[in-house]
Amino acid sequence: MKPIKTLHLHGDAAGIAHAAELLSAGALVALPTETVYGLAADARNDLAVARIFEAKGRPHFNPLIVHLADVSQAKNYVEWTQNAELLAQHFWPGPLTLVLPLKPDHGLSPLVTGGLSTLALRVPAHPVAHQLLQQYNGPLAAPSANPSGKISPTLARHVLEGLSGRIEAVLDGGACPIGLESTIVGLLDQPCLLRPGGVPEEDLEKILGRPLTHHSAADPLNAPGQLGSHYAPGAAVRLNVTQPKPGETLLGFGAVTAPMNLSENGDLIEAAANLFHYLHALDAQNPAGIAVSPIPETGLGRAINDRLRRAAAPRP
Ligand code: TXA
Ligand code: MG
């Protein structure tokens, strides 16, 4: 692929207008959301969507999330349900993705769904993403804006480090406040947790009034991109460590002495916001290994541990 010049746009009115123009012309634009930066293209444009896969080195069977400006747009693409309405009322705009049956005549590129009969939808809350979506007034397919398998970006700089020369622009909205991808819930049969993320499972269960089921590899509905090694820094990652080995750098949590601490007070929200940021920073230092303190398996801790387990998984 011939390298292209990647523009670094400000997340102001002029930058947003420029991004919308580029997207209409079939370009790839990375945009800030409250979770992580996404790599957006018009979800109706086959060629633009194909270029997302090419730029990221993403396998084609791994479907994309479609981003919309508001709930009413969602109903154009999927069979809406009571549970969808309930969750959308409480958590949209926000870090929640819903997977629902695709409607016929949806008009989206078939590459978006990777051949599935379901679609993942999200209405982001970040003001820059929201303004862009409102102005664009069309569906934007956007995976996280990192090369496939690498750490997700929480700063425009991370996007440029991974994808510069492969995308037309990045719209800079500063640091992503949540710092972890959206929670994905399947709503085909029983509400099912497909990926832990920015909305804690406990909060969803409170609103639904029942526990979520959990996806297994045998489910017809699973998040195909959820398998094996992911979010992988260059160094080997070891989890639940209280005593790092010589040469290992400690990524701390809570009251431990470490060169980098996700949250000295043991605050999981702060730890989530710091996680990818610190993994990028540690990766740049090229340590012999990264050891991580134990993190409690509650609230956002579940999503943090999910990402850390993938970062530590054996590499392909
Ligand atoms: O916070 C986020 O969700 C970010 C921002 C940019 O919105 N996006 C994101 O996209 O994390 P991505 O592509 O990195 O992860 C999306 C996950 C993948 O694991 C994919 O397999 C799954 O969503 N997915 C997409 N469509 C699906 C569907 N129809 N059924 C089940 N899983 C789906
Ligand atoms: Mg991703």
Give one DSSP letter per residue of 275-315, joined into a string: HHHHHHHHHHH--SEEEE----SSTHHHHHHHHHHHHHSPP
Nearest CA to ligand 1 atom 21: 225
pLDDT in tens, the chain (316 residues): 688 999 999 999 999 999 999 999 999 999 999 999 999 999 999 999 999 999 999 988 889 999 999 999 999 999 999 999 999 999 999 999 999 999 999 999 999 998 889 999 999 999 999 999 999 999 999 999 999 989 999 999 999 999 999 999 999 999 999 999 999 999 998 999 999 999 999 999 999 999 999 876 545 445 555 556 677 778 889 999 999 999 899 999 999 999 999 999 999 999 999 999 999 999 888 888 999 999 999 999 999 999 999 888 877 6
Pocket test for ligand 1, best of 34, 53, 97, 113 (most atoms within 8 A of CB): 97
Residue 235: its pLDDT value, please? Answer: 84
Whole-model pTM: value is: 0.92
Tokens of 26: 């079939």
Q: What are phi and psi of 27, to 5 degrees?
A: -85, 165
Pocket test for ligand 1, best of 64, 65, 148 (most atoms within 8 A of CB): 65
